[in-house]
Amino acid sequence: MVTTARPRTKKPNYHWMLHAGLIAGAVLMLYPLLWMIGSSFKPEGQIFSDLNPIPQSLDFSNYIKGWTLGTGVSFTTFYLNSFMICAGAIVGNLFSCSLAAYAFARINFKFKPVLFALMLGTLMLPFHVIVVPQYIIFNTLGWTNSFLPLIVPKFFAVDAFFIFLMVQFIRGIPVELEQAAMVDGCNRGQTFLLIILPLLTPALVTTTIFTFIWTYNDFFGQLLYLNNERKYTVALGLRQFLDASGQSSWGAMFAMTTLSLLPVFVIFLFFQKRLVDGIATTGLKG
């Protein structure tokens, strides 16, 4: 009794101050985002005159205006394009990175250490260094203004980060599991498909999410290779509001930007748990 009472009298509770400080910081950080979301519901004239992020009324006209954009191609196309590129990149990365990782983690071949180091080395290589040569290659292939430059490379295990992630993961899977599978009648391919891949699920989920987000947000790559409006993605679509007609269509842009955040937000919402927990690999040992 005495011991619990004493600190209470002696030490005032500073928690609320701490929280207030943190909340203030959070609001400060979030203000631009909130302002943008709020502005997407405001009439054009109010956007820059009213700094209060909370709109006076919910006006969806910006959304309707923004979606169709007035140039004939709507955001329906942009979203479909974005999702198509994302899907292609995800399939490519899952397929190629898992295979590459398996080879690095489990198969002995000549120059493996050197190749592994080289592969990791590409992580340090700034994107800008390879932009020009890459563009020349794809241009020669006649692939510009198509999704191919954004999807096809993913089928050749170019994302060293994911390979590394999976290599580490596979190294943590006991070899005995694979040996047991071989004794049970699997060849290498079946061992990979039936044992390694299922156990790799957490890493595969991570790869899926990050590939989605990175591809979805990849403005530069898409800007580089896509120049027909019908091929535009969401990221490129948003840019249209700025230079399309010279008119200020800020409201529409904020509306579409707000919408464009949704997929990423939803993905985080649903996969956050899967990102964290993995299949516990405790079929081993007592």
Partner 1 sequence: MATVQIRDVLKSYGTLQVIHGISLDIADGQFVALVGPSGCGKSTLLRMIAGLEEISGGDVEIGEVIVNDLPPKDRDIAMVFQNYALYPHMTVAQNMGFSLRMQGISKAEIRAKVERAAEILGLQQLLDRHPRHLSGGQRQRVAMGRAIVRAPQVFLFDEPLSNLDAKLRVQMRSEIKELHQRLQTTTVYVTHDQIEAMTLADRIVVLNAGRIEQVGSPLELYDTPETLFVAGFIGSPSMNLIKGKVVLGDSPTIVTTDGVSLPLPLVSGLEAGSEITYGFRPEHLSIDPSGMKATVVVIEPTGSETQVNARFGTTPITAIFRDRVDFRPGDSVPLLPDNKRAHVFDTLTGQRLHA
Options 34, 91, 180, 213; binder of partner 1; rule CB under 8 A: 180
255 within 8 A of 40, measured Cβ to Cβ: yes
Per CB under 8 A, 177 contacts partner 1 = yes
The piece of 81-89, 125-133, 172-180, 213-221 that touches partner 1 (CB under 8 A) is 172-180
Angle (deg, nearest 10), helices 61-68 and 75-106: 70
Per CB under 8 A, 4 contacts partner 1 = no
User: Of 57-86, which residues contact partner 1 (CB under 8 A)?
Assistant: none
CA 203, CA 105: separation in Å to the nearest integer?
A: 14
C-alpha count within 13 angstroms, C-beta hemisphere, residue 239: 12
What are the tokens at 158? Answer: 């170019």
CA 248, CA 75: separation in Å to the nearest integer?
A: 18
Options 9, 49, 108, 282; binder of partner 1; rule CB under 8 A: 282
The piece of 39-47, 116-124, 147-155, 193-201 that touches partner 1 (CB under 8 A) is 193-201
Options 100, 165, 166, 195; binder of partner 1; rule CB under 8 A: 195
**241 to 42, 237, 247, 255, 272: CA distances (angstroms):** 16, 8, 8, 11, 33
User: Of 219-238, which residues contact partner 1 (CB under 8 A)?
Assistant: none
Per CB under 8 A, 283 contacts partner 1 = yes
Q: For residue 12, give the 3-state DSSP assignment.
A: coil
**195 to 180, 246, 255: CA distances (angstroms):** 10, 57, 46
240 within 8 A of 73, measured Cβ to Cβ: no
What are the tokens at 23? Answer: 């909340």
Give the nearer residue to partner 1 in terms of CB position, either 23 or 193: 193
Options 32, 176, 265, 272; binder of partner 1; rule CB under 8 A: 176
CA 132, CA 44: separation in Å to the nearest integer?
A: 40
Per CB under 8 A, 190 contacts partner 1 = yes
What are the tokens at 227? Answer: 């120049």
Per CB under 8 A, 166 contacts partner 1 = no
Per CB under 8 A, 185 contacts partner 1 = yes
Per CB under 8 A, 25 contacts partner 1 = no
Give me the least distance between CB of 286 and partner 1, in Å please.
Answer: 2
Options 1, 183, 262, 269; binder of partner 1; rule CB under 8 A: 183
Options 174, 217, 239, 274; binder of partner 1; rule CB under 8 A: 174
Per CB under 8 A, 187 contacts partner 1 = yes
Residues that bind partner 1 (CB under 8 A): 174, 176-177, 179-187, 190, 195, 198-199, 201, 279-286
